[in-house]
Chains A and B, each alone.
Chain A
Amino acid sequence: MLDDLAKAVLRPNGNRGPNSSAILVEDISKRYRIPIEKKITVYEHLIGLVRGGACSYEEFNALQNVSFSVKHGETFGVIGPNGCGKSTLLKVLAGVLYPDSGKVRINGKIAPFLELGVGFQPELSARDNVYLYGAIMGLTRKDVDQRYEEIMDFSELKRFENMKLRNFSSGMYVRLAFATAIQTNPDVMLVDEVLSVGDESFQKKCGQKIDEIRRAGKTILLVSHSLGTVKQLCNRCLLMNHGQMVALGETEGVLAEYARMMNGR
C-alpha cells in the first residue's frame, strides 16, 4: 500500500525511447482539504475527539481526471482563467504536490521554474547564493564551478558578485536566479510565467535563451496568461477550467475555444 503510494509520482529516470513522451499524465486528480476549523496541535485534536462531531474539512477538487502527454522537443502550453488548476497541475508535475490518484511520469531531468530564487539567502553574497541555488537545483559544486562565469555573464552581475544579496534590487535578484536556473541544463522545463522578469532588454534575452533551448530539442511546459506568448511559442495547448480539461490540441483551436469560453460568461 505504502509502496504504491510512493510510486504514484515517478521521479525522473532518464531513459527515453525514440517515441516516448517527455511528460505523461494519466488521469490525475487532486483534492484540497479546506478545514472548517483548523486544528494544528495535539491538544486541539484531543479536544475535537472529546467533543465528537463529523468530518472537520470540506473538499475542493483542484484537478479532476486530467490526462495528457507531451512529446520530446515539444513546447506545450497550459491556459485557463484564474483558479482553474494550472498552478496545482504544475506543482504536481514538479513533485511538490502528490496527486490523490493517477500517475505522472517524467522522462529526463526536470527543472521546475515555479518561482525564481527559492532558497536565496539575503545575508550571503551573490556568489554564495549561486552555489546554494545550484545545489538546490541538484547541481554539484564542480558543475557550478564550470558554469559560474557564464551565469555572471548572462545576468550581467559580475561586478556585484561579492555584494550581499539583500542589497540587490528585485530586478538583479531575478536576473541572478534565472541565469543560475537556466544552467541546470534540463530535458524538461516547467515554466510558470517567469518570462516576465527584469526590464525589456533582459526579457528579450530570456526569450532568446528559451528559444535556444527549444531549438536544442528540449521539452517545455509553459503556464501563462499571456495568449500572445502561448501563440508564439507553443505547438499544442491544454485549456482548463474548474480543474477539468476543456480542450486539448493545436494551439490555434484551443485559443479560439478559450475566447469563446470567456465571451460566453
Chain B
Amino acid sequence: MWVVDYRELIKILTISDLKVKYQSSVLGFAWSLLNPLLMMLVLYLVFNNVFKNSQEHFALYLLIGIVSWRFLANGTTTSMGAIVGKPSLVTKIFIPRQVLVLSSVLSSFISSLLEFLVLMILLLAFGVKISPNILFFPAVHIVYFVMVYGISLALAALYVYYRDLNQIWEVLLQLGFFVSPVCYSISTVPEKYLFYYMLNPVTLIMQIYRKSLLYAETPSAESLVYILLSACILLILGTAIFKKLERRFAEEL
C-alpha cells in the first residue's frame, strides 16, 4: 500500500508545506488564525445588523461555519496545484503521485485543526456548555478530510490538463459558500428547496459541528450515514479520475 510505503515522504512533504505557509511572514501563524476571526466579525456585523438574525450564539454559529468552510476552500485550492507545482517529482522519478495530493490536503487538515482549537477556546470563553457530543467532532472531521481529499484528487489531475481550472473553481467555491449555511440559518431556506438544499454534504457537516459543539445536541444517525457515504463516493470518484488522467502526467507537465 503506497500510503504505508511512502509515509516518510508524506510526512516530510506535509511539514515542509506547513513551514512554507507559516514562515513566509512574521505574523504567519497568527494571520492564519486572525483571518477567520476577522471574517467572522465582518459577517457578524452584516448579518446581525442588516438581516437581523436571531440565532442563539450567532457569532460562534458563524465562526463554526467559516472554519469548516475554510478547510474545504483552502484544502482544495492549494491541493489543486500539488501535481503541477512539483513537476520534477512526476517526470524524473517514480513515486505514487497521490502522495503529493495527500500531503497537501494533510497540511490543510492540520491548519484546520489549529483553527478549530482556537474555536474551542472561544466556545469556553463565551461560556458554551460542553457536552460529550463534542466527541463527534474528530470522527466527522476525518470523514470531511476524506471528502476533501477525493475532490482534490480530481482537481489536481484535471488541473494538469486545464490550467484555467483554478479560475473556474474559485467561482464554484463562491457559489458553494452561499448554498451552504455558512452565514445564515437553515430555517431561512424556503420549504420547497429544502430537500435539494440538504443534499449538499457540507451543509450536513456544518450542521453536525454546530449541534455537537455549540448546542450540545446529538447529531442524527441519518446525517452521519449520509456524509460517510458521500465521502466514500467522492473518494472513489476522485481516485478513478486521478488514475485515468495520471497516465499522461509526465508528458503534459
Contact = CB atoms under 8 A, between A and B. Distances in A.
Interface of A: 2, 5-6, 32-33, 40-43, 45, 91, 94-98, 110, 112, 114-115, 118-119, 121, 131-132, 134-141
Contacts, number: 73
Nearest to A141: B8
Interface stretch (B31-39, B104-112, B156-164, B190-198): B156-164
Contacts of A114: 92-93
Interface residues of B, number: 30
Interface of B: 5-9, 11-12, 16, 86, 88-95, 161-165, 168, 240, 243-244, 247-248, 250-251
Main secondary structure on B side of the interface with A: helix
A41 B160 CA distance: 10
Given A96-B92, A98-B247, 5 more contacts: A40-B163, A112-B93, A118-B88, A132-B12, A136-B89
Nearest to B4: A140
Contacts of B91: 96
B165 A42 contact: yes
Contact of B94 (A42, A94, A132): A94
A136 B90 CA distance: 11
Given A5-B247, A33-B251, A114-B93, A42 B12 contact: no
A32 B252 CA distance: 10
B163 A135 contact: no
Contacts of A131: 8, 12
Contact of B161 (A40, A140, A141): A40
27 contacts: A2-B243, A5-B243, A5-B244, A6-B243, A33-B251, A41-B163, A42-B162, A42-B164, A95-B94, A96-B91, A97-B251, A98-B247, A98-B248, A112-B93, A114-B92, A115-B93, A118-B88, A118-B89, A118-B93, A119-B88, A135-B6, A135-B8, A136-B9, A137-B93, A138-B9, A138-B95, A140-B7
Contacts of B248: 98
Contacts of B243: 2, 5-6
Contacts of A112: 93-94
Nearest to A44: B164
Contacts of B165: 42
A139 B8 contact: yes
Contacts of A5: 243-244, 247
